C-alpha cells in the first residue's frame, strides 16, 4: 500500500489530478478540507483549523481506507507532518504542484463546487459543467466555496507559503521521492506515470 501526498496552493489543480488517479483505480483520496466541510467546520476565514481536530479526522480516514492513499491538503504544516511520522504512516511520494499567486487567485475565483458530492468545475472552458450551474454527477445546484473570494484566497496563499511550503524541505530531508508539476503546464495526464 502506497501513501502519496499532494501539495499545492489553492487552485493548483490537485483535485483534477487526484481524480484521474482515483478514476484509474486503486487509490483512496483523503481530503482534509472535505473532511472538515463534512464535519460542519466553518472554513470561510482561510485560516488553518487546529491541528488536533484535523489530525483526528485524517487518522480515522486513514484507518478506514483501502488500497493506496492520496492525502489531499494534509499535512499542511510541519507539526502535522511530524505527527504523521509519529503515527508510522510511511510516505512514498510527494506530488508538488507549483502555482503563482496571480494564477491561484484567478482559478479560485472561477471555481464552482457541488455542495453534495464535492465535484469541482470551472466557469471557464476548462471542465465547465455540461448544464450551466448543475453538477454533472448528481444534479445538485453548483455553488462557490465561501473561501473562494479574493481576500480569503490571498490569505490562503500566504498561509500556504508560510506553513505548508516548509514541509517540502522536511520530506526532502527524509529522502522521499518528489514529482513536481507546473500548474500552468498542460500535463495533467502525466500524473498516472508518476504515482
Q: Which of 20, 22, 28, 43 binds ligand AMP (CB under 6 A)?
A: 43
Measured in whole angstroms, how far is the alpha carbon of residue 184 from the centre of its chain? 17
Q: How far is the CB of 15 from ligand AMP (least distance, A)?
A: 9
Shortest distance, CB of residue 62 to ligand AMP, whole angstroms?
13
Distance of alpha carbon 2 from alpha carbon 26, whole angstroms: 10
**Does 99 participate in binding ligand AMP (rule CB under 6 A)?**
no
Distance CA 153, CA 158 (A): 9
Residue 22 engages ligand AMP in binding (rule: CB under 6 A): no
- Report whether 83 contacts 51 (CB < 8 A): yes
Task: Please report, as residue ranges, which positions from 59 to 88 form the binding site for ligand AMP (by CB under 6 A).
Answer: 73-74, 76, 80
Work out which of 12, 33, 113, 142 binds ligand AMP, going by CB under 6 A: 33
Beta bridge partners of 98: 182
Residue number with the shortest CB distance to ligand AMP?
33
Residue in 21, 36, 167, 191 binding ligand AMP, rule: CB under 6 A: 36
Compose the 107-146 pattern: x for residues touching ligand AMP by CB under 6 A, - for all others: ----------------------------------------
Regarding 32 and contact with ligand AMP (CB under 6 A), the answer is yes
Q: At closest approach, how far in Å is the CB of 21 from ligand AMP? A: 17
Please, which contacts does 43-46 make with residues 24 or more away whose CB atoms are closer than 8 Å?
43/145, 43/146, 43/147, 44/146, 44/147, 44/152, 45/147, 45/152, 45/155, 46/147, 46/152, 46/153, 46/155, 46/156, 46/159
Q: How far apart are CA 29 and CA 23, in angstroms?
A: 11
Contact 191, 17 (CB under 8 A): yes
- Residue 131 three-state SS: coil
Number of residues that bind ligand AMP (CB under 6 A): 16
Q: Where along the sequence are the contacts to ligand AMP (CB under 6 A)?
A: 10, 32-33, 36, 43, 46-49, 54, 73-74, 76, 80, 147, 156
Amino acid at each position: 500500500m502506497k501513501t502519496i501526498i499532494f501539495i499545492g496552493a489553492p487552485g493548483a489543480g490537485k483535485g483534477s489530478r487526484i481524480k484521474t488517479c482515483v478514476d484509474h483505480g486503486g487509490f483512496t483520496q483523503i481530503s482534509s478540507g472535505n473532511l472538515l466541510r463534512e464535519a460542519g467546520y466553518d472554513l470561510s476565514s482561510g485560516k488553518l483549523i487546529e491541528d488536533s481536530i484535523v489530525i483526528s479526522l485524517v487518522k480515522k480516514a486513514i484507518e478506514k481506507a483501502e488500497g493506496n492513499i492520496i492525502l489531499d491538503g494534509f499535512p499542511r504544516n510541519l507539526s502535522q507532518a511530524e505527527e504523521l511520522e509519529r503515527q508510522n504512516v510511511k510516505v512514498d511520494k510527494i506530488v508538488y504542484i507549483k502555482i503563482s499567486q496571480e494564477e491561484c487567485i484567478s482559478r479560485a475565483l472561477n471555481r464552482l463546487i457541488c455542495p453534495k458530492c464535492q465535484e469541482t468545475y470551472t466557469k471557464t472552458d476548462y471542465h465547465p459543467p455540461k448544464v450551466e450551474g448543475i453538477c454533472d454527477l448528481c444534479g445538485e445546484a453548483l455553488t462557490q466555496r465561501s473561501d473562494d473570494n479574493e481576500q480569503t484566497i490571498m490569505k490562503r496563499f500566504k498561509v500556504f507559503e508560510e506553513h505548508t511550503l516548509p514541509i517540502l524541505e522536511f520530506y526532502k530531508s527524509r529522502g522521499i521521492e518528489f514529482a513536481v508539476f507546473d500548474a500552468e503546464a498542460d500535463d495533467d495526464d502525466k500524473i498516472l506515470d508518476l504515482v
